[in-house]
Chain A
């Protein structure tokens, strides 16, 4: 059984994004980039399935610039077996990403796709759902638990107010939520080993998919700033201020 894990290179989770002064986007020059945290969870889940003997091959795929190879090497160091880079310098919208992934899936024929529920740059939370719709495969989004038995996936999902469990025949698209697992740190020997694992780079044009942007970004602005208020000395002062000054109690 083969699992495909799409991963995205994004601004590091701990870096505060800065909007460019000309309001054309967020400044990513000389900013630390890492694997999207939800993608890390997806890689971890795929690697655990392999360690349990449920799957035999974990293939990581990234769509992005040449530097996305680093992200793929991270996935390989975590335990993926091989990687595919679909190279483009363009910033693709979720629909385009879903279409390219579909083309990769048509070639690779995995039994399962595990991917992050959203990327922390665009915050769209759309690609997995779109991919499922395009492929006609069942969708199990926002997974907090995944079990594969035979040709069936049982997925517990984070929903408003609690959890929902669904069952679907493979192949299926699973999108990872926060509690699915805690991703491992790659060990130094595994990082070294990952350098020798196969990484296949292809130009995006090879897939023949229309990835032209559909949306026009008119501007990217800073949100209105919230200024800090005052410090109070005691809990009693706090209650008095909330009652008399803010009027919220």
Chain B
């Protein structure tokens, strides 16, 4: 048994999602190799080599890979799969973009967003916005899986695997990178943050969202999230979205402000350790999952909260 883990890079640096995916790979068993794809990704590969329990690190570098173009990543991974029984990728938007292509090329199922590895061929995954957990078994020769990283603990460091540079494949073919706008933020990354402060439609405008949610998040060293309703209304950018159709978070503390708690939002945050809800509607569904609820208008409650935090 051998498992290939595809590393997740954030601004060129190895992200913690990789360590968490290695934990999922350990639950499958066998040898674990990591594939790092990117541009100027040698430092990320060297960081991956330090993850405990890794046999070796493969490094493929090109411009197309640096931009994460799905066709380019697939072209590197598919030929490698003769040597592996499973390939695991963190379920980031990048991973979701290319992983199903690998499955299609290998003519096997794609097993999306796994939250538990039962054994080498049995996986648990959420369906219906997390309202149900499906246990599926695959008898196929190769397993192609994306991993919901919030469900796994990060593998430790202390390894010293060799890094081997491999061919960067055929590139993206048809699609061509034109440009990107990546928001630079001092705040922690949403899916890995210890505290998340999220705002909902009650904010009423983008200005209000920034004025209320962001200072509180900064005071707590938290990441900023938003409900789909707030994103839909244009109060917050899409990559803030917490929920079934956005990001899934599981921080130590999740503070939901002016969020009613639609099923689709709950799906993205209900595994948080402690949930706080501030909403003026005492019957809002968010209070059914909140450990601490404050029935109050955010307009008075958030300034009071800032004062109480000192």
The reply to whether A248 and B274 contact each other, CB–CB distance below 8 Å, is yes
The reply to whether A162 and B182 contact each other, CB–CB distance below 8 Å, is yes
The reply to whether B287 and A231 contact each other, CB–CB distance below 8 Å, is yes
Which of the candidate stretches A107-115, A185-193, A199-207, A238-246 sits at the interface with the other chain?
A238-246
B207 on the A face (CB < 8 A): no
A79 on the B face (CB < 8 A): no
Q: How far is the CB of B130 from chain A (nearest CB, A)?
A: 6
B19 on the A face (CB < 8 A): no
Interface residues on B, range: 35 or more
B181 contact set on A, CB distance < 8 A: 162-163
Which residues of chain B in 232-252 are interfacial with respect to chain A, using CB atoms and an 8 Å cutoff? 232, 237-239, 241, 244-245, 252
B253 on the A face (CB < 8 A): yes
> Please, how many angstroms separate the alpha-carbon atoms of A43 and B287 in the complex?
36
B111, B253, B264, B275: the one contacting A215 at CB < 8 Å is B111
B304 contact set on A, CB distance < 8 A: 234-236
| A178 and chain B: residue at smallest CB distance | B245
The reply to whether A26 and B132 contact each other, CB–CB distance below 8 Å, is yes
A223 on the B face (CB < 8 A): yes
Which residues of chain B in 143-179 are interfacial with respect to chain A, using CB atoms and an 8 Å cutoff? 172-179
Which of the candidate stretches B32-40, B44-52, B89-97 sits at the interface with the other chain?
B89-97
Q: Report how many A-B pairs have Cβ atoms within 8 Å.
A: 268
B68, B99, B104, B136: the one contacting A134 at CB < 8 Å is B104
Q: How far is the CB of A65 from chain B (nearest CB, A)?
A: 18
The reply to whether B136 and A216 contact each other, CB–CB distance below 8 Å, is yes
The reply to whether B288 and A228 contact each other, CB–CB distance below 8 Å, is yes
B98 on the A face (CB < 8 A): yes
A16-B263, A98-B104 given; A220·B140 CB < 8 A: no
A118-B245, A163-B180 given; A144·B135 CB < 8 A: no
Which residues of chain B in 96-114 are interfacial with respect to chain A, using CB atoms and an 8 Å cutoff? 96-105, 107-113
> Please, how many angstroms separate the alpha-carbon atoms of A217 and B244 in the complex?
21
| A125 and chain B: residue at smallest CB distance | B96
The reply to whether A94 and B110 contact each other, CB–CB distance below 8 Å, is yes
> Please, how many angstroms separate the alpha-carbon atoms of A129 and B253 in the complex?
35
A134, A168, A232: the one contacting B293 at CB < 8 Å is A232
Q: How far is the CB of A167 from chain B (nearest CB, A)?
A: 5
| B173 and chain A: residue at smallest CB distance | A138
Interface size for A (C-beta < 8 A) is: 80
A167 contact set on B, CB distance < 8 A: 175-176, 178
The reply to whether B100 and A138 contact each other, CB–CB distance below 8 Å, is no
The reply to whether A94 and B100 contact each other, CB–CB distance below 8 Å, is yes
Using A129-B96, A235-B296, A235-B301 as known contacts, list a sample of 10 further A-B pairs with CB atoms less than 8 Å apart, ordered by residue number in A: A16-B131, A123-B127, A141-B70, A163-B180, A166-B175, A219-B134, A220-B132, A220-B135, A226-B270, A238-B276
Q: Interface of A with B (CB < 8 Å)? A: 11, 13, 16-17, 19, 26, 38, 93-95, 98, 118, 120-127, 129-134, 136-142, 144, 154, 158-169, 172, 177-179, 182, 214-223, 226, 228-236, 238-242, 246, 248-249
Q: Interface of B with A (CB < 8 Å)? A: 10-11, 67-71, 74, 92-94, 96-105, 107-113, 122, 125-140, 172-183, 189, 195, 220, 228, 231-232, 237-239, 241, 244-245, 252-253, 263-264, 270, 273-276, 282, 287-296, 301-302, 304-305, 307-309
Q: List 14 A-B contacts (CB under 8 A).
A: A17-B131, A95-B110, A123-B112, A130-B100, A130-B110, A132-B70, A161-B10, A164-B179, A166-B177, A182-B232, A214-B108, A220-B127, A240-B308, A246-B292
